[in-house]
């Protein structure tokens, strides 16, 4: 359906630009870096109050326990913020999932903390695009949708740890995704308003390397240099990558005084497999190269972590979902296109449950994860209107 009926026309006229802008600005004043539990708690409370305007049950869910490897190679428990869940019409015959995240990549002590206008249309600030404006768009779209007495049920999940892989919310994502008709995730669009199609998987790993200390001048031959072994493993991993399997050695912790052969190191690296077969390949490559380096350098290597987000492949139902969204956008005078993306998000986790998901329903802008991040505020109303219209048409379509 490429034209708006009178109900749809009335619904989208209820979208209010000022409320979305106000929410984006207010929420962006709260630092919600993934490890800032106090800031996340404050923002979660604000979000809970705003989303309570929907006719559902609002709850804050405790994070699942997770672990992290310290710079010295010790495995420690990691505490995450609580996750916001809103359940509306849980007994409806057709239900969908809408997701977003409240955390940003900007820590509490980051220099980038304030919003400023670059010009009349571009707002620069921490998380304004990724994704506090996306949360404002989601809320505005849902409120408009609720004005037409819908019978579509839905769950909303806003998690606190998406930027670090959703480790403490992965089980919750799976729980809420099971059985859903479709899902919408409010990550920002790709530059120019393009939506993301397929995505690779992603995993963060740490290789903890135990060598043997010795005096660097008196008896270096008795030592086993963990930093050198870590460097060798980093090079081998980098050389093992190919277009369908990206491996990025990112950081080496370890060592100490320059006159001591270092007996500890931690190599941290990211893996991005394009397809499911590359997941198994990555596991074998990492295990084999680690064993080779351990043998060649006479060190012990223990691996921690894994591929937490599977590749997001495009099913026929996902193609049909995009067709529905594209048709709705055309009816609004905002034609859409989509292409494969290199980044990952909670859409990867949702797709694992066999649910068709479109995961770039958020705002338009550029330079996320940098001090240059900006939101094009002209995209707020069109994306909220698109959200409301897509929800209405998902309630009406026979199948995906």
Residue-wise pLDDT for 251-291, tens only, equals 999 999 999 999 999 999 999 999 999 999 999 999 999 99
Q: Quick one: pLDDT at residue 398?
A: 84
Same domain, 185 and 120: yes
**Which stretches in the chain have pLDDT values below 70?**
1-2
Radius of gyration over every alpha carbon of the chain, rounded to an integer in angstroms: 23
Query: What is the maximum span of the chain, computed from C-alpha positions, in angstroms?
Result: 86
Q: How far apart are CA 135 and CA 128, in angstroms?
A: 10
Last residue of a domain, one of 284, 309, 334: 309
Identify whether 332 is part of a domain.
Answer: yes
Whether residue 317 is found in the same domain as residue 240: no
323 shares a domain with 300: no
At which of 287, 309, 331 does a domain end? 309
Angle at 156 between CA 154 and CA 159, to 5 degrees: 155
Residues 24 and 160 grouped into a single domain:
yes
The domain total for the chain is 2
392 plus 254 within the same structural domain: no
Q: Are 250 and 233 in the same domain?
A: yes
pLDDT attached to residue 1:
61
Q: Tell me the CATH number at 105.
A: 3.40.630.10
pLDDT at residue number 96: 98
In-domain check, residue 1? no
The whole-number pLDDT of residue 3 equals 83
SS (H, E, C) 17-52: HHHHHHHHHHHHCCCCECCCHHHHHHHHHHHHHHHC
Express the helix, strand and coil content of the chain in percent, nearest 5 each: 40, 25, 35
Amino acid 150: pLDDT:
84
Report the candidate in 4, 14, 3, 321 with the shortest Cα–Cα distance to residue 145.
14
Same domain, 159 and 208: no
**Domain encompassing residue 292:** 202-309
In terms of domains, do 194 and 333 share one? yes
Is the same domain home to 12 and 146? yes
Global pTM? 0.94
Tokens of 183: 């899902």
List phi, psi (to 5°) of 274.
Answer: -75, -40
Do 257 and 275 fall within a single domain? yes
Residues 151 and 71: their CA atoms lie apart, in Å, by: 52
183 and 207 co-located in one domain: no
CATH of the domain at 293: 3.30.70.360
């Amino acid at each position: 359906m490429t034209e708006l009926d009178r109900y749809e026309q009335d619904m989208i006229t209820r979208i209010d630009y000022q409320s979305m802008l106000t929410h984006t600005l207010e929420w962006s004043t709260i630092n919600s870096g993934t490890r800032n539990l106090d800031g996340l708690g404050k923002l979660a409370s604000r979000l809970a109050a705003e989303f309570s305007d929907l006719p559902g049950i609002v709850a804050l869910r405790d994070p699942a326990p997770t672990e992290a490897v310290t710079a010295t190679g010790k495995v420690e428990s990691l505490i995450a913020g609580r996750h916001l869940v809103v359940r509306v019409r849980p007994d409806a015959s057709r239900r969908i999932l809408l997701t977003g995240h409240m955390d940003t990549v900007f820590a509490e002590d980051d220099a980038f903390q304030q919003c400023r206008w670059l010009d009349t249309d571009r707002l620069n600030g921490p998380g304004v695009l990724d994704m506090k404006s996306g949360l404002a768009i989601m809320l505005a779209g849902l409120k408009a949708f609720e004005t037409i007495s819908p019978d579509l049920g839905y769950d909303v999940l806003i998690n606190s740890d998406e930027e670090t892989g959703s480790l403490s919310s992965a089980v919750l994502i799976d729980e809420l995704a099971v059985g859903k008709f479709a899902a919408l995730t409010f990550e920002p669009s790709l530059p120019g308003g393009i939506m993301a199609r397929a995505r690779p998987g992603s995993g963060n790993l740490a290789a903890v390397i135990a060598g043997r200390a010795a005096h660097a001048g008196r008896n270096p031959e008795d030592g086993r240099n963990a930093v050198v072994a870590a460097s060798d493993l980093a090079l081998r991993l980098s050389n093992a990558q190919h277009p369908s399997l990206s491996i990025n050695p990112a950081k080496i912790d370890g060592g100490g005084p320059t006159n001591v052969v270092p007996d500890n190191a931690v190599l941290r690296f990211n893996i991005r497999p394009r397809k499911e077969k590359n997941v198994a390949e990555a596991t074998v490559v990492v295990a084999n190269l680690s064993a080779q380096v351990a043998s060649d350098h006479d060190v012990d290597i223990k691996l921690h972590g894994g591929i937490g987000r599977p590749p997001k492949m495009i099913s026929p139902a996902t193609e049909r979902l995009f067709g529905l969204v594209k048709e709705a956008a055309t009816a609004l005078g905002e034609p859409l296109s989509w292409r494969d993306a290199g980044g990952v998000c909670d859409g990867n986790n949702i797709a694992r449950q066999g649910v068709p998901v479109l995961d770039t329903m958020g705002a338009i802008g550029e330079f996320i994860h940098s001090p240059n991040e900006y939101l094009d505020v002209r995209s707020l109303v069109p994306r909220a209107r698109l959200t409301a219209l897509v929800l209405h048409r998902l309630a009406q379509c026979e199948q995906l």
